[in-house]
Structure 1
Amino acid sequence: MSFLKAEWRKLVMINYEVNTEVLKEYIPKGTELDFYENKCYISVVGFMFLNTKLLGVKIPFHVNFEEVNLRFYVKREGKRGVVFIKEIVPKPAITFVANTIYKENYQTLPIKHSWLEKDDKFKMSYQWKINRNWNSISVESLPKLVAIEPNTEIEFIAEHYWGYAKDKNGTTEYEVKHPTWGYYPVTDYIIDVDFSATYGEHFSFLQSQKPSSIFLLEGSEISVENKTVESS
């Protein structure tokens, strides 16, 4: 049985090209950075968890909720995966389970979203509150869903099917299963984020850096499989 099943929907992905030195201390043992056209990326990602089931069971008040995370891209033995620097959710129980079992870096904060369909465009935004201030990432897009083309930047960002995290005994590895996602072409965006407050001074440089790309993906049903701990 899968550890978790849910839908991940309306994924806003804001991507920055970064120097590899920025991520050096976060790379789990046995993995290495993954590159697209010799570029190293870090992404702020906001999305909806819907119809969430833990070991096949819906937990009351923990079925539908938002998440905003900061992640980067690695590979291990041909598997392309992601490492999460921080994942923000609105429920402390989610934080406890993810941090305890999967050795992730979850934080509980007030968080909300907005999804509007108006005329010929969509508007999607995620907001989270830290130090009494609201941060937000928002996009506008065309309403037509487009298929992801192979060997593109959006394929690289979206098509990673493994998760890795540091563990005291080595590296936690788990598989995330989902079909290839379609996307809505983004026409405008607003980023209002205090990167230092949210992610620490180490990532404060993102405050003045322009994103390399911004995507809005539809998402799908997903499953997160049980973890293994790799000692190498």
Structure 2
Amino acid sequence: MSVFLKASWENIVMANYEIEPEILSKYLPSGVELDLYNGKAFVSLVGFMFKNTTIFNIPIYKFGTFEEINLRFYVYRKVGNEIRRGCVFINETVPYKVVAWLANALYKEHYTTIATKHYWNIKDTKKEIKYEWLVDKKWNSIDLTARTEAKTMEDNSFEQFIFEHYYGYTKVNTIVTEEYKIAHPSWKINEISSATIDCDFQKMYGNDFAVLDKTKPTSIFLAEGSAIAINWKRNKI
């Protein structure tokens, strides 16, 4: 029972925003530090497909494939000589209440449930990817066009910084943090030719993130994704 969840994460969009570190301070779990890129802090608005989910190798047929939208930021933890680079989720949104309840009950995550949908149109040379989620009767969206050809991320690139955080950290309370590991290969990325973000950050994530409504993303990335596995064991730190 070492692996709790297996799934495929596909067509992962990351819209990345520079943000003042002070905004993130109250969300920072105990025992980790903000992970900065060139001295700057970032949050990412993420959209992707969660497909063919199994829990302890048991398929979740009706609820195993769905869109997820989340807002995350980046941290690291020192364990001896090892640097564990990970993410903290402000919120994770899925369309099924049972999925949100399971994640929150078992792992004290921050899942909420709202209506979501997606549109994919993948051709020989072009991908059209769109994720939508409903907030106060308005559909928010991430909408982009990219090349179908995929390439390997360059070492020490901003793409690598954004995508290659293999730990998750959950703030249980002001003292307790839970650490878990996400296993997947390094993803290949698609070159984006156009992208539009329509997100009401204040309504979706609260007043702390209202500043993002007036902020343009520093970059938007698309990764092909892969099979992933999340361990059952969580370390309390």
Query: Normalising by structure 2, what TM-score?
Result: 0.94
CA deviations on 1:100-149 (whole Å, 9 max, x unpaired) are 12211100000011111246321101000011111001111111111111
| Deviating more after overlay: 121-130 vs 161-170 | 161-170
Matched length: 231
Question: How much identity, in percent, do the aligned residues show?
Answer: 44
Say whether residues 1:15 and 2:16 are aligned partners: yes
**The one of 67, 86, 90 aligned to 1:85:** 90
Is the 1:128–1:136 Cα contact (8 Å) retained in structure 2?
A: yes
CA distance in 1 between counterparts of 2:14 and 2:40 reads 17
Where 2:171 maps in the other structure, the secondary structure is strand
CA distance in 2, matches of 1:60, 1:51: 8
Q: Deviations over 1:9-45 (max 9, x none)?
A: 0001000111100100000000110011111110000
2:168 counterpart residue number: 163
Structure 2: distance between partners of 1:117 and 1:226: 34
Residue aligning to 2:196: 190
Equivalent position of 2:7 in the other structure: 6
Unaligned runs of 5+ in 2: none
- Which residue of the other structure, out of 173, 183, 191, is the alignment partner of 2:179? 173
Aligned-residue Cα RMSD (Å) equals 1.2
Map 1:105-184 onto structure 2 (within 5 A). 105-118=110-123, 120-168=125-173, 170-184=176-190
Q: CA deviation at 1:228?
A: 2.1
Q: Which one-letter code corresponds to 1:177 in the other structure?
A: A
* Unmatched tracts of structure 1, length 5 or more: none
How far apart, CA to CA, are the structure 1 residues paired with 2:152 and 2:20? 30
> C-alpha distance in 2, partners of 1:39/1:146?
26
TM-score w.r.t. the length of structure 1 is: 0.96
> 8 Å contact 1:172–1:227 — kept in the other structure?
no
Q: Secondary structure at the match of 2:10?
A: strand
1:63-102 alignment to 2 at 5 Å? 63-77=64-78, 78-102=83-107
What is the CA–CA distance in structure 1 between the aligned matches of 2:27 and 2:233, rounded to whole Å? 19
